[in-house]
Amino acid sequence: MSRLFVPLLLLAAALFAAAPFVVANAPFEETMGLVQKIFYYHVPSAMMMFVSAFVCGIASAIYLFRRSAAADRVAQAAGELVVLFGLIVLVTGPLWARKAWGVWWEWDARLTSSLLLWMIFLAYLLVRRFGGPGSEKLAGAMALFGMANVPFVYVSVNYWRTLHPKTSVVMTLAPGMRAAFWFSVAAFVILYVLLLTLRKRLEDRQATVEQIYLAIEE
Amino acid sequence: MTQFLRVAWVVMRKDLTIEMRSREIVYTTVFFAASCVLVFAFALVREGRPLEDAAAGILWISIAFAGTLGLGRTFERERHTETLRALMLAPSDRPAIYVGKLLGMLVLLAIVEAVLVPMVGLLFHAPVFARPLWLAALLAAGTLGFASVGTLFAAMLVRARSRDVLLPVLLYPITIPVIIAGVRGTAALFQATPDEPMARFWAALLVFFDVVFVTLSLWTFEPLMTE
């Protein structure tokens, strides 16, 4: 991964530099017009948020059952990225909703479940930060339970009438939009991998520094 | 298996015996739940008339609040007397200890609910005895879901700093499906003509939640409580 880091970084920079032009050149959606362009940021961010939640949950499970410190560091990095990408989703979503539906927020299934998932991982970070010694395990359980909770949250909030476009919309995009959309997804995936690696590396180094400190004290 | 159940039974009886002697947690939690209902009454009753459809929500929010308080107090007692470690040192299955604690918590919450349900019915004109079995089923399934996650988290938080504030911070986001299902299911029963299929749907969701989260708790209790 460390050898791939610089090429990937350059690729991500190139993709994000080109993204505004690709998005601008994509055809306009008939009813929503310009505001639909948020789609190219909103949906890939949401995808990364859910991917990251599962990365965090699975890494936490590995940490809890195998006692692997490296898995815990991956979980922490992924947990922070859930909150980061979730923030992008929760900021761009209402901006789009205001234009498309006329309201900033709607208690719709997909919105509510995204908000709850985001809150679960915010709680995850709070435990890590303020739980004191031994909070890694507690946070691990939170991530694992949070992951298991996703289907329940989804089913239970689905009771309300759904306004949000279904995920099947991705498959039925106009050809020009589809290219721009998958371009954005690729850019976000690479960005996600880069951020995860970078954050994990920072944690690795902090762990090493701590070990050195302990060795000196002994 | 019988050994497992016996340990769970002994742990539960120990908790209930301590509680019977002081009655500290039962009295304070029931009083707290009742004052929660009253606070909601002052917020939601206007011109002498309760808000339509508010009873189910108030019932479940009060259960959740009182449950958090009870969970915190139960484990605070173990921490104060430093008996949780002794409990963990006992030569028995760790999950059995978890089940014992959970049973004790369920008994406490059942007492709280026995007070809350008639109170909500009285103050908010809710027909709580229209479908008593369905209501009991929803309450039992919802309480089990809430308490199963709550007992695990409270047990883990015993060692953490700022445990009082972290318990609700962790517990509420995870148990939102329980609250939604409990409130919607109960509201369906409290309608003028009770909507049984709707109540059954939400009860089924709660049972499913219970199965997944009790299994997950039993599975993770051992690695989580090992230092």
Q: What digits encode the pLDDT tens for the residues B112-124? A: 999 999 999 888 8
What is the nearest CA distance from A9 to chain B, expressed in angstroms?
35
Q: Confidence class of residue A104 from pLDDT cuts 50, 70 and 90? A: confident
Question: Phi/psi of residue B120, each to 5°?
Answer: -65, -40
Is B148:B178 a contact under the CB 8 Å cutoff?
no
- The more confidently predicted of residues A12 and A29 is A12
Are A108 and A43 in contact by the 8 Å Cβ rule? The answer is: no
CA–CA distance from B69 to each of B30, B74, B108 (Å)? 10, 9, 11
Comparing CB atoms, the residue among A67, A142, A148 nearest residue B170 is: A142
Residue B106: strand pairing partners: none
Do the interacting molecules here have an ipTM over 0.90? no
The C-alpha atoms of residue A52 and residue A80 are separated, in whole angstroms, by: 9
Q: Among candidates A36, A121, A35, A128, which has minimal Cα distance to A86?
A: A121
**pTM, full prediction:** 0.85
- According to DSSP, the residues that pair with A29 across neighbouring strands are A33
**Residue A162: predicted pLDDT:** 45
Quick one: pLDDT at residue B89?
86
CA distance A164 to chain B (A): 20
Tell me which residue in B177, B181, B208 faces A149 most closely, judged by beta carbons.
Answer: B177
The answer to whether the CB atoms of A137 and B181 lie below 8 A apart is no
Residues of chain B under the 70 pLDDT cut: 227
Query: What pLDDT is attached to residue A93?
Result: 86
Contact B205, B181 (CB under 8 A): yes
For A149-167, what is each residue's pLDDT tens digit? Answer: 888 877 776 654 444 555 5
Whether pLDDT at A87 is above 80: yes
Q: Quick one: which H or E segment has residue B45? A: strand B45-46
The reported pLDDT for the residue numbered A57 is: 93
pLDDT at A168 over 80: no
Residue A36 predicted with pLDDT over 60 = yes
Distance, in Å, from the CA atom of A174 to the CA atom of A81, rounded to the nearest integer, reads: 31
CA distance B154 to B159: 10
The CA distances from residue A141 to A20, A149, B25, B143, in Å, are: 40, 12, 27, 20
Q: What is the average pLDDT across A127-139?
A: 85
- Give the pLDDT of residue A73: 92
